[in-house]
Structures are given as structure tokens and as C-alpha cells.
Chain A
Amino acid sequence: MALQVVTANRIGDGTVVYLTRVGGWSERITDGEVSRSDEERDTLMAVAQATAEIPEVVEPYLIDVVEEAGVIRPVRYREAIRAQGPPVHPAFGQQAEEG
């Protein structure tokens, strides 16, 4: 069973966010709640869909991740770029804050 987290863009400013343990959204993938089974995945998506209807976020979807020493990383390169910010602009996105 692949590990997954739910991601989306925040409705107001479009920022990339991840669904957290408490059902909120964080800009850091590491705060993301990881699903490890089909049921967990369905629960997460149900929570995400509910907040999308408010609307808090836009178009939530699942991405595959790996977890190493408590750090969550996306599997796909596209999602790594989404999580970090554009490689050609190191000053923008999460990458800027990690220095």
C-alpha cells in the first residue's frame, strides 16, 4: 500500500497546501497526514472534499509519498516542485523558508 497525502491549492491565494492530522491545511508537506490503507485514504479524501465544498481549497487530490525518518517527500518530481517552489526561482515557495 503506497503512502499518500492529500494536497490542494488554497482557494483565496492559490497556495499549495496539505491536509493535516487535525483536518486543517498546512503549507508544509511534512505536516501532512499520511494514509496507509484504503480506509484511511477514503477518510482523508472525504475530509478534504468537505473542506473543498466550503470552499477552503480547490481540487484536492492524493499524491504518493515516501516517509524517511519522519520526513515526508513526494514520489513524483512534479509534486516535489509543487512542494518546494519553482526551481528557477529559489526565492519563492517553501524552498525559500528552508534556506
Chain B
Amino acid sequence: MYRYDEYDQTLVDERVRQFRGQVARRLAGELTEDEFKPLRLMNGLYLQLHAYMLRVAIPYGLLSAVQMRKLAHIARRYDRGYGHFTTRQNIQYNWPKLEDTPDILAELASVEMHAIQTSGNSFRNTTTDQYAGVAADEIEDPRVYCEIIRQWSTLHPEFSFLPRKFKIAVTGAPNDRAAVRLHDIGLIMRRGDAGETGFEVIVGGGQGRTPFVGPTIREFLPKKHLLSYLEAIMRVYNQLGRRDNLFKARIKILVHEVGAEKITEMVEEEWRHIKDGALDLPKEEVERIRAHFAPPPYETLAAAQPAFEEKKRADGAFATWADTNVAAHKVPGYAIVNLSLKPVGGIPGDATADQMDAVADLAEHYSFGEIRVTHEQNLVLGDVRRTDLHALWRKLRDIGMATPNLGLISDIIACPGLDYCGLANARSIPVAQRISNRFADLKRQHDIGELKIKISGCINACGHHHVGHIGILGLDRKGEEYYQITLGGSADQDAAIGKIVGPAFSSEAVVDAVETVVNTYVELRQNGERFVDTYRRVGKEPFKERLYAAA
């Protein structure tokens, strides 16, 4: 993974000192809250319902064991013993003190981490495929470009006061595991005519109040032009993005109002002036960064692992887990292991300090000391020998991270909702917990198959409800929590926004409603169809009929 050199380290150290000064000025009354707010937000510090909340950047979701231990330490020492992994591959702490944040940032800096631009109207953490670098279907490792983007977008002098926040996602694989079409900019690695790699450029996707699947504005961008093209997009957006209305300030609205064609024209025109200039990274720099992502020293192993197959035959629970939570690795004899942060009835994405420490140990022992955070709020050990899977599984069971539910109905994404969030209309976490309990029977979950439930506590859609196969959105109806259900969304390469199925359900009724939807699907499905396949074939009517039949 990428390691800081002295320049990177100097920047985060200076940033800590700068923020320490800003906090001191705030506590001394020299800065008003209005003036301080953008400064603290540029360092990931929010004020939520109960306390401050600190969001720490995990660049493209990649962590070392040492960093994970530091996150555990921060949870223990400065928070309440836990953290929350988010859909943007970051971690949030729910109870930090303002007075402590400079110290927390200093602790982070000591392990090459920070909270820069995890909030505020600037570039946010660039996200990617959690299987980057190890996926069997990958064209090229996108993390090299994520790191290049991370550096270029850090404290960018021109784009630190954008109309609104800005999120970039990159994938190197045709199977989209990073929801790239739902980002302000999405980049998909493609092959050009001569077999060289480059990017398809998508602009103006997003969720929130007005969800859009982003249009492609360039089919193929040679890699050397990456930064100049991004800068051209940003310059157009910074000048023309709406600043009169917070809800219309994202680039997706600009693209929608102006039209993708016109945006493309403007971007290309701006790009004409700046391409082949100072933004072309020198080859040596690209190679320097690429070297950090060189494959670890894999052993030469046989693709077939009889011992592993034998263990599967002997132990049904292990087999279920291996079939569900383990993915194919590009190197023979290795596997990608998903650690579920969705135990039955648990809080999606939460991990205790002890769990974090344990994961760090396991990563060192089994996976070259690296951990990945997924946008579905789970963790991944990317490079595990197949022969180690059984031992690893047993240890994961001990720390409650072996629930074999990846991609199943209890692998729910949920935002913090009204339990923590100042903007929420309704709670999200308890709904996730109740659904998870209702479908606790793993056999039933496996019979239902792939089904993604995503829950947001308000229209900001932090819980991705628009792209859930079943999406749940919290509403406030005269002081009561209500939940609107959408069906048929998808965040994959076939990205789609879900359709509202009908009137919202009360908090008591919503879990029953989800079960009705699931039962309807089970009755209607034909040979091996997933939930979304059935939905796409039959549409929302049959579900609607069943849901509202009694009314």
C-alpha cells in the first residue's frame, strides 16, 4: 500500500498544527461558530445530535494493521470504545471532544492518516473497488490512480470552496463494486484500441434528494490526461454549479439542467487549454506510486486445494461461510475474505476497539498486514491462502465477524439515522436490527439469495436507499417515524434508482412490509432469479398489490 514520504508526512503534521491553532482560536472566542464550522468540517469534525462526530479518512478504504490498531486506540482513549465504518470507506467516531481533536489528529498523523476533507464543500475521500489489486476480473489496479487523485485533490487551492461536496470513485473492473455511476465523477478503467488502458469518464451521478445515474461524458481518456481532465471538469463546475440553493448545488444538478452534451463541450473546451501542461504527472512519479501497490510476495500454490475442499465437506457451517463470504482471487491458491460487520441484530458497520485490534492481528497473520473497508460497510482481508481459510474462519467466529451473510438480506447498509444524526427524520439502525432479527434464520437467507437492503434516515441518502434492491427511507409524519419503501434499485454496473412502491409504513409495520415483499418474490421467482431479476421481469405491481391488499 502507499506509504508516506517526508513530503506527505510534513503536510499532515503541518495540518495538525494548523488545526490545533484553529481549535485554540475557537475556544478562545476569536472565531465564531460560523467561521469555525468550515474549518472544522475541512477536518472531518461535525456537530451531531449528542456530541461532536469525527470522520477519519481511509483513502480508498485501505488500512494497514498498524493503522487499524491506532483506530482501536483512538476509540478506547478518546471515544467510547467503538467506531462506525461508513459507506464511503471511512470510519466515524461518535463521541470525540473538540478539545481532544488536535491530539486525535496527531495520533492519526503518526500512522500516516488524517481527517482532511472528510467533510465540507471540497473533494472527499476517493473510493474504489474493495477488491482492487486482487480481483480476478480487473483490468488494472485502480488504487494507483486513487492515490494520484488523493494527492492532487488535497488542499487544492482553487477547489476548496466548491458549491458542494465532491465525490470521485474509480474502478478497474467491469463488474462495478464501487457504485461509480452514482458519484460526482466516476472513472472506469477501459482498454483503448491499441490495448492501452485509460478511463471512461462519468459525471453527475449522485444520490441524495435527487438521485441520478451519471452519464458518460468521455468514452476513453488516456491515463496521462487524468488530472488535466479532472481539473477541467472541476473548473467548469466551480464556476457554474449553483450556489443559490444548497439542494441544487451538486454537479449532478448542473449536468441535468445544462445537459450532458453541453457539459461535455464545456469540459472539452476548458481541457483544450490545460491539457499537455503542468498537470501531466511525470512518468517517474506514476511509477513511484505504482511501486507501492506491487503485489505482495505470494507463494506459488496449486489452484486446487484438497485440504480446503476436505474441510468444506467435513464442516457444513464452514462450507456455507466459504461459499458466501469468500471471493475469487487472481492468484492461484489465494482467496479474498469478507469480514461481516453485520451480525444478526447488530449495528451495521460498527466495530469495537477489541474487534479492530483482533482484525489487525489476523491481517498480519493471514493477509500481509492489510485490511480493506468496503462501501457496504464490511471489512476485507484481501490475500488469504486457501489453506488458511478454516483457521481464519474459526478466529473470525470468535470475534463475531464470520456471519455468512455477504450480499444477503441481513447484509444491510444503514446510515446513523436519528440515533445520532442531526438531520435525520427517523431512526435507521433499529430498523436494520429488526429486519436482521426477523430473517435471522441463515437457511432462509440463503434460500432468498442476493438481496440488498439499504436504509437512510432522511432524503440525504447516506444509507444508499435509492440503490437498494429494497430501499427504505425514513420520514417524519407529524412527529412519528414512517418509512417509504423503494424497489429495484441497484448500485452495480447496471445501476438503477429504485421506484417508490406506495404509501409509507409505520415503524411497526415496516418489517412486515419487507417480509411481504420478500415472500412475494419467493413465490414469483423463476429458475434461479435473484430478487432484482424478478423485479425487473414483473415490475412493481405484484409487490404493490400484496403490500396494500388489505387497505
> Interface of A with B (CB < 8 Å)?
9, 11-16, 52-55, 58-59, 75-78, 81-82, 85-89, 92-93
In contact, B47 and A14 (Cβ under 8 angstroms): yes
**Chain B residue with minimal CB distance to A84?**
B50
**Which B residues form the contact surface with A (CB < 8 A)?**
26-27, 29, 32-33, 47-52, 80, 94-99, 347, 418-420, 424, 427, 429-430, 433, 479-481
Q: How far is the CB of A67 from chain B (nearest CB, A)?
A: 18
A81 and B418 contact, CB distance less than 8 A: yes
Q: Which of A9, A53, A55, A75 is within 8 Å of B47, CB to CB?
A: A9
Q: Which of A14, A75, A78, A87 meets B98, CB within 8 Å?
A: A14
The reply to whether B479 and A88 form a contact with Cβ atoms under 8 Å apart is no
A46 CA / B51 CA spacing, docked (Å) = 23
Query: Does A58 lie within 8 Å of B33, measured CB to CB?
Result: yes
A14-B97, A76-B479, A78-B418 given; A86·B50 CB < 8 A: yes
Complex Cα distance A16/B48, Å? 10
Point out the residues of chain A lying under 8 angstroms from B427, CB to CB.
87-88
Q: A11-B98, A14-B97, A53-B29 are in contact. Are A58 and B47 (CB under 8 A)?
A: yes
Interface pair B49/A55, CB less than 8 Å apart: no
- Say whether B433 contacts A78, CB under 8 Å: no
A78 and B32 CA atoms in complex are apart in Å by 26
Q: Which interface residue of B80, B347, B419 has the most chain A CB atoms within 10 A?
A: B419
For the complex, give the distance between the alpha carbons of A87 and B481 in Å.
14
Q: Which of B32, B433, B480 contacts A88 (CB 8 A)?
A: B433
15 A-B pairs whose Cβ atoms sit less than 8 Å apart in the complex: A12-B99, A13-B97, A13-B98, A13-B99, A14-B47, A55-B26, A55-B27, A76-B479, A77-B479, A78-B418, A82-B49, A87-B430, A88-B429, A88-B430, A93-B50
Q: Is the CB of A88 within 8 A of B347?
A: yes
Interface centre among B26, B47, B49 (most CB of A within 10 A): B49
Q: A16-B50, A52-B33, A82-B49 are in contact. Are A11 and B418 (CB under 8 A)?
A: no
Q: Once bound together, how far apart are the Cα atoms of A87 and B431, in whole Å?
A: 12
Cβ of A15: which chain B residues have Cβ within 8 Å of it? Answer: 50-51
Cα distance, A86 to B429, chains bound together (Å): 10
Contacts of B481 in A (CB 8 A): 77
Q: With A76-B479, A77-B479, A82-B50 given, is the CB distance from A92 to B26 under 8 Å? A: no
- Quick check: B429 and A14 within 8 Å, CB to CB? no
- Report yes or no: B419 in contact with A88, Cβ–Cβ below 8 A: yes
User: Would you give the shortest CB distance from A55 to chain B, in whole angstroms?
Assistant: 5
Bound Cα distance A59, B422 (Å): 13
CA distance A61 to B424 in the complex (A): 17
Contact of B51 (CB < 8 Å), options: A14, A54, A76: A14
Q: Once the chains bind, are B27 and A12 in contact (CB under 8 Å)?
A: yes
In Å, the complex CA distance between A89 and B94 comes to: 11
Contact status A55-B33, CB under 8 Å: yes
B476 to chain A: closest CB distance in Å?
A: 8
B347 surroundings in chain A (CB, below 8 A): 88
Residues of A within 8 A of B49 (CB): 16, 78, 81-82, 86
Once the chains are docked, how many angstroms separate the CA of A23 from the CA of B347? 39
Contacting pair A59 B51 (CB below 8 A): no
Give the residues in chain A near B52, CB-CB below 8 Å.
Answer: 9, 13-14
The interface residues of chain B lying within 8 Å CB-to-CB of A58 are: 33, 47
How far, in angstroms, from A82 to B80 measured CA to CA in the complex?
Answer: 17
Q: Which residues of B contact A92 (CB under 8 A)?
A: 50, 80, 95
Given pairs A13-B52, A58-B33, 19 additional interface contacts (CB within 8 A)? A9-B51, A9-B52, A11-B27, A13-B99, A14-B47, A14-B48, A15-B50, A15-B51, A16-B49, A52-B33, A53-B32, A55-B27, A55-B29, A78-B49, A81-B418, A86-B49, A87-B430, A88-B429, A88-B430
**Chain B residues with CB below 8 A from A14, complex form:** 47-48, 50-52, 95-98
User: In the complex, which of the residues A9, A52, A82, A87 has the most CB atoms of chain B within 10 Å of its own CB atom?
Assistant: A9
